[in-house]
A and B are shown apart, each in its own frame.
Chain A
Amino acid sequence: GAVVSQHPSWVICKSGTSVKIECRSLDFQATTMFWYRQFPKQSLMLMATSNEGSKATYEQGVEKDKFLINHASLTLSTLTVTSAHPEDSSFYICSAIGRSNQPQHFGDGTRLSIL
């Protein structure tokens, strides 16, 4: 079946550095990709929606200059957390849909820890 792959699965870095997370659709063309953030024992919160070749649409309260999203191809979207701080530590999950919209396939997430 369709698979969405995220890389890296876990990253630890110092405060102030920028971190890039990749999300790839492995066997289908992802017309739309979504980025979610999940804090411990909480639900997934939608951060932004990106369509291939266009700018991402950010949810209210999500800083677009802090969380840079690029969706340059139908199989790859990247999320860059710029100048990361400890409060950005979280589990970041991407998902993707193809031309038929459903079902939405999820990656296995990236655990980001900022020291």
Chain B
Amino acid sequence: GESVGLHLPTLSVQEGDNSIINCAYSNSASDYFIWYKQESGKGPQFIIDIRSNMDKRQGQRVTVLLNKTVKHLSLQIAATQPGDSAVYFCAEILMDSSYKLIFGSGTRLLVRP
């Protein structure tokens, strides 16, 4: 099913600390997952992706973990910086009869200087 929009939870971290943002996805048949960053007044920006046959993928300062057993994704940001402050969404891609990208509910990350 598709996620229903709720008011966004907020994660507040100190600059330089690591951040962990969690997401629960809805469809066990999804085979591709993406984390997006959205700054105020802008569209989502691609951060990192992972396929369902993987459980971990690392990028520059970011790591995505996938636990298919409990349908859970996490995004880890190392050494969080003020520029990381934004709303983060996980998204899953359903490829049944068509290609469709569905967004999760999102988390607002606030970085304290």
Contact = CB atoms under 8 A, between A and B. Distances in A.
Interface of A: 4, 6, 32, 34, 36, 39, 41-46, 49, 57, 59, 93, 95, 97, 101-109, 111
B2 interface: yes
Contact of B89 (A41, A43, A104, A109): A43
Please list the 9 inter-chain residue pairs (A to B) with the smallest Cβ-Cβ separation, ordered nearest first. Answer: A42-B5, A106-B43, A44-B103, A43-B5, A108-B43, A43-B103, A106-B44, A41-B7, A109-B43
Interface residues of B, number: 27
Contact of B32 (A4, A44, A45, A102): A102
Interface string B16-53: 00000000000000001010100001111110010000
Nearest to B108: A41
A34 B101 contact: yes
A60 to B, nearest CB: 9
For B44, B45, B100, B106, which residue has the most chain A Cβ atoms within 10 angstroms? B44
A37 to B, nearest CB: 10
Contact of A45 (B2, B42, B43, B99): B2
